[in-house]
Amino acid sequence: MTEPTPTEPAWLEEGLRHIWLPYSQMKTAPRPVAVRETRGSRIILEDGRELIDGIGSWWTAVHGYNHPVLLEAVRKQLERMPHVMLGGLAHEQAYRLASRLADILPGDLSRVFFSESGSVAVEVALKIAVQYWLNTTGEVRPKFMAFRGGYHGDTFAAMSVCDPEDSMHARFGAALAEQVIVDLPSDEAKAEAMDAALSRNYDIAAVIVEPLLQGAAGMLMHDAATLRRIREICDRHGVLLVFDEIFTGLGRLGALTAADAAGVTPDIMTLGKALTGGVTPLAVTVASGKVYGAFHSDAPAKALMHGPTYTGHALACAAANASLDLFEREPRLAQVAAVETHYERTLLPLKDLPAVIDVRIRGSVAAVEMKKSFDLQAARRLFIEQGVFIRPIGKVVYLAPSYTISGDELQALTGAISRFVDSSGK
């Protein structure tokens, strides 16, 4: 870890001797910057500096930080009852949230299972898919089809459906269950290849995809026609389709879900990240009536034997209900559209610069892909020095801020990216 700075608080130095940080080589990682508080799209540091946040805490804080409606909902729930378990007991927040999600999600996605992280929501989706076959035809279908560029989380089954070569889990290759990984069917030839791979593999339970946008791979985007092909091919082979909307769900791309934007409905959907507006952890796996029907039986063995300790956590569900209130009451999707328009005006022209390979924009997400690799740590430091929090992945400098970010704040983010691209030359 790099050397301490004179202004940093004592708890940082002390804690760094014991904490094991995410996605970090602890020996060489730069020191994290100590944060005192947050407000709107601002991160206020312990040394008094303010950063405009382009990432929204791993894509969660969609209403901005400390939104009073979310804070009040959690506060009220905390005083009444932080949580009671869902085994044998029920509380209003989880039950109301399940009903509301069933109302607003497309098709008959109508059965909501709660967990605490995106990776676990994906695990649950995959487990449901395997058991769907056990419960209906009795077949053992242990495999999944997934796509190059995909990322679905860090737990073992989730890692196994990530891109096997181009993801941070590549070193685990031999330790993971082998899955069938193909190209997204972005044209007819690739659709035929996907179709053929399904014909060869009768033991595939489900196909899993990040619809419209592969986030962790560098904000790679595909079109609705690709998803329509995937849906058609799944239907032809009778396999289930899982949309992993942990990132794309809840307005991120301009519609409530990518499924809505594309007009394609999966059999199972996962949501997480923005579900509580970044206030507490919560994720859901939502199954269609057809999938749920395979579990609804007099046979105990057909039940879904899954139950995280904190499933349906009351504070998290209170935050999520309040977040849905905000989506209903405030013009979130219009705000996302305004963010998109701003990107088109400020970032799209960068496409013509020699240092840039591509600029991708959809809803509140913008990605500028650079031609050459650059020093990631130096770039991240440079952005902080300029008063913005932007964390490029690979060669991609991207934004996924809160939907409520102001025009001036957005300008500060896109301006910093333009300066970065300019200074990168060719």
Q: Which residues are known to be catalytic? A: 23, 151, 244, 273
Q: How far apart are CA 113 and CA 273, in angstroms?
A: 15
Applying CB under 6 A, the span of 148-156, 284-292, 350-358, 410-418 interacting with ligand PLP comes to 148-156
In the bound state, the residue with its beta carbon closest to ligand PLP is 118
Rounded to the nearest whole angstrom, what is the least distance from the CB of residue 377 to ligand PLP in the complex? 21
Residue closer to ligand PLP (CB basis): 135 or 265: 265
Closest CA to 370 of 345, 390, 351, 387: 351
Residue closer to ligand PLP (CB basis): 212 or 384: 212
Rounded to the nearest whole angstrom, what is the least distance from the CB of residue 216 to ligand PLP in the complex? 6
185 touches ligand PLP by CB under 6 A:
no
Q: Which of residues 110-129 bind ligand PLP (CB under 6 A)?
A: 117-119, 122
Total site size for ligand PLP, rule CB under 6 A: 14
Binder among 54, 272, 277, 401 for ligand PLP (CB under 6 A): 272
Applying CB under 6 A, the span of 23-31, 165-173, 244-252, 371-379 interacting with ligand PLP comes to 244-252
Strand order in 180-182's β-sheet? 109-115, 283-288, 268-271, 240-244, 204-209, 143-147, 180-182
**What is the x/- site pattern for ligand PLP, positions 204-223, by CB under 6 A?**
------x----xx-------
153 touches ligand PLP by CB under 6 A:
yes
The DSSP line for 253-269 is TSSSSHHHHHT---SEE
Burial class (CB in 10 A: 0-12, 13-18, 19+), 95: middle
DSSP 8-state code for residue 240: E
Residues in CB range of 381: below 8 A, 6 or more apart: 30
Q: How far lies 152's CA from each of 6, 23, 190, 259, 338, in Å? A: 39, 15, 22, 17, 29
Residues in CB range of 395: below 8 A, 6 or more apart: 218, 357, 369, 370, 371, 372, 373, 374
Rounded to the nearest whole angstrom, what is the least distance from the CB of residue 254 to ligand PLP in the complex? 17
Rounded to the nearest whole angstrom, what is the least distance from the CB of residue 71 to ligand PLP in the complex? 22
Interface ranges with ligand PLP (CB under 6 A): 117-119, 122, 151-153, 210, 215-216, 244, 246-247, 272
